[in-house]
Amino acid sequence: MDMLEILGYFGALLIGLVLGLIGGGGSILTVPVMVYLMSVNPVTATAYSLFVVGSSSLVGAGRNLQKGLVGFKTAIIFAIPAVIAVFSTRKFLVPAIPDNILTISGFTLTKDIGIMLFFAVLMLLASVSMIIDKEKMLSDSHINKPTNHILLAFLGIFTGLITGLVGAGGGFIIIPILVLMAGLSMKKAVGTSLLIIAINSLIGFLGDLGHLKIDWMFLLIFTGLSVIGIFLGVYLNKFIHGEKLKKGFGWFVLVMGIYIIWKELS
């Protein structure tokens, strides 16, 4: 096992630690850790990420279920179209993307580069979401407002498409939707989003089983380390203020996103 691989497994622990400490965001690191530290192909890394994110979110959703912080009706309305979109994306759309998408002035945009660039843009958006105080922006004035079920289902399809393409949970997209469109409180939106992400990611991963060779030993060890990290993060959360860490982590994700764009284009 070389140094990069050791760092990769440490990264798995760190992903869970961040999830446990700040309640989200850590999974955005899964694909970069797998691609740049574990030398996993980007398409396979997005599939593995779905499994890791889904398993980690399931742990978080279980904790929120115990606290009564999950809106089941909203989760079902959002998750059903999202699951169809993410499964279809993994099963049909991702395999259909050509290996060489286009060539401009000697630069060839390959499938792998395209996925990493799209993922980097998503990282930049997620970082802004962490740096900005969402609690102030998404005030509880939206609570109990009538839900537009058709719009919620349409946004579920959109989120499922993004999740399927890059293997990220998309909590930073889902939470504002649940607050603004479904009238959930911030805490209930976070709990509900974890359940949606868990369902989306794990069923999306099933779409990959037919056409990707899965290294189950590696995947289960990586996921296990992430889950251990979650419990460690939840314990440390009693002593460390998670909200203060969120902004710092947001800046880190911003720098990572810029680095990925620079690395892939150079």
Q: How far apart are CA 181 and CA 160, in angstroms?
A: 17
Q: How far apart are CA 5 and CA 37, in angstroms?
A: 6
pLDDT of residue 173: 86
Distances 81 to 49, 151, 202, 233 between C-alpha atoms, Å: 21, 11, 15, 32
pLDDT of residue 186: 81
Full-model pTM: 0.89
pLDDT in tens, the chain (266 residues): 788 899 999 999 998 888 888 777 777 899 999 999 999 999 999 999 999 999 988 988 888 888 888 898 899 999 999 999 999 999 999 999 999 999 988 889 999 999 999 999 999 998 988 888 666 666 655 566 667 788 999 999 999 999 999 888 778 888 888 888 888 888 888 889 889 999 999 999 999 998 889 999 999 999 999 999 988 988 888 888 767 788 889 999 999 999 999 999 98
Which residues fall within 8 angstroms of residue 206, CB to CB, at 6 or more apart? 87, 90
| 3-state SS, one letter per residue, for 186-214 | HHHHHHHHHHHHHHHHHHHHHCCCCCCCC
Question: Do residues 169 and 200 lie in contact, with contact meaning Cβ atoms separated by under 8 Å?
Answer: yes
Which residues fall within 8 angstroms of residue 94, CB to CB, at 6 or more apart? 43, 46, 164, 165
Which residues fall within 8 angstroms of residue 127, CB to CB, at 6 or more apart? 250, 251, 252, 253, 254, 257
Q: How far apart are CA 174 and CA 156, in angstroms?
A: 8
Question: Do residues 250 and 128 lie in contact, with contact meaning Cβ atoms separated by under 8 Å?
Answer: yes
Candidates 170, 167, 181; CA nearest to 126 is 170
pLDDT of residue 261: 96
DSSP assignments along 26-60, one per residue = GGGGHHHIIIIIS---HHHHHHHHHHHHHHHHHHH
